[in-house]
Chains A and B, each alone.
Chain A
């Protein structure tokens, strides 16, 4: 559905002719039915990627296509459910009015419009703010209005830029449910976020950007290299775990706790041997998510 082919964007200042490469040589394809995350440190090129995708910027090199169309052409024909990183709507608009206007633009038929707006406000818990002006909203409520307007149109492409920015933990969890509900075989969802746990939970694949370049794509098939994942093991027993598991290091101040950095298969074998010899497993958790490990590796490169 989406194809970035050697896409890049370089900003040039008019006066000093200074160049800043925000994105370079991006090759990425996203199919319908996928949820793809975009991760990267600040300034990595995430927002530029999204602006290229929506046609708000033109690539300086390469191409971006959606269903074979230039981005603007696609957006003007089909629309995209888009939540901006900083929700920008005219401050004097009232919440319900804003959603009504944007529902009209989204192409929601007149007969369904009132109901769709009401459902969206209920879904995002903003009914009580319906008559408030946009400028009176807290950051979290504004974010929910932004998310609401992105969901009005039932679009085949949904792009969410830092969707949980400013949301409290309850609504962060609710947002995850919403993304799960949004999944459809004919819909692609793109989520740009700093929150790696969130991406790990929601995305099928995560593209990691750094310095404007795609460093790697982490997915179900290409996960972080096993060796990079650190596990915390807590065992009860007299066995000398350090001897049985090369590379295991005791965690200071936590008797019976060991930190292990080992390939998963090798660690499993050694752990099985220890358990067979009478040790009791209390805890075995990755100290970092796979994505966090992959991110660390990619950004370090």
Chain B
């Protein structure tokens, strides 16, 4: 039998899985959010805010959850439940399988501003508010948060929860650092060290401009580093490690 050896042969299945679950949910939630705001505030919202502000504000409130949903459980569930035994006795490398799944998750998350923008354009007739910057923020957020989820996914099925706690911890530490700075007091060494070590989640926000220069490099390198570490673990750490066979 000639074998289909295309490394992309399972891509469509993964894409359809994401479309049936996460993508559909994101479309429905985006439309629902626009509908609820229109129902409560009517045209006042359209008069008071432009579409870009609205999309930015809603992204800021929903992006973290959306990324956790799109990237969560990518590898962790298969490893914990033992599904990996059927999947990876086939001629397919786990690191490649999960990289494709993770990238598709990123594409789905990148469509969120589109659905939000379209929903607001329909509801308020003030355009979609979409810009390259909005997509840049979403992509960088996915790289950082989604990268953390992928990395934890190689170790636990509660990847999304660990990533969320890490995000929360970093945000609170960053808040505290700002308070210390505002009071002109030295930031405690342990806190400063923790902020250096933890992913720089604070540098990317839908409410702030896209990071640039050193901040952008920090985000890109940290995010890419987490993804690379996850792929190395998937490549070299046997999937049955950590428990009895």
In the complex, what residues of A have CB within 8 A of residue B13's CB?
101, 104
Contacting pair A88 B4 (CB below 8 A):
no
Closest chain-A Cβ to B81's Cβ sits at a distance in Å of: 6
The SS class assigned to the B binding surface is loop
Question: Does A191 count as interface, using CB distance less than 8 angstroms?
Answer: no
In the complex, what residues of B have CB within 8 A of residue A153's CB?
3, 90-91
Q: Identify which of B138-146, B172-180, B187-195, B236-244 touches chain A.
A: B236-244
A269 to B1, CA, bound (A): 54
Question: Does B84 count as interface, using CB distance less than 8 angstroms?
Answer: yes
In the complex, what residues of A have CB within 8 A of residue B9's CB?
104-105, 107
Known: A72-B238, A104-B10, A107-B5. A90 touches B91 (CB 8 A): no
A181 to B5, CA, bound (A): 26
Question: Does A109 count as interface, using CB distance less than 8 angstroms?
Answer: yes
Contacting pair A76 B93 (CB below 8 A):
yes
Closest chain-A Cβ to B234's Cβ sits at a distance in Å of: 11
In the complex, what residues of B have CB within 8 A of residue A90's CB?
81, 83
In the complex, what residues of A have CB within 8 A of residue B238's CB?
51, 55-58, 72
The CB with the most chain A CB atoms within 10 A, among B9, B82, B86, is that of: B86
The CB with the most chain B CB atoms within 10 A, among A11, A105, A109, A110, is that of: A105
Interface size (A, Cβ < 8 Å)? 44
In the complex, what residues of B have CB within 8 A of residue A80's CB?
89
Question: Does A172 count as interface, using CB distance less than 8 angstroms?
Answer: no
Bitwise, A74-90 to B at CB < 8 A (1) or not (0) is 01111111101011111
Known: A89-B83, A101-B13, A112-B1. A58 touches B241 (CB 8 A): yes
Question: Does A22 count as interface, using CB distance less than 8 angstroms?
Answer: yes
A191 to B91, CA, bound (A): 21
Identify the A interface with B (CB < 8 A).
9, 11, 20, 22, 47-48, 50-51, 54-58, 72, 75-82, 84, 86-90, 101-102, 104-110, 112, 146, 149-150, 153-154, 159
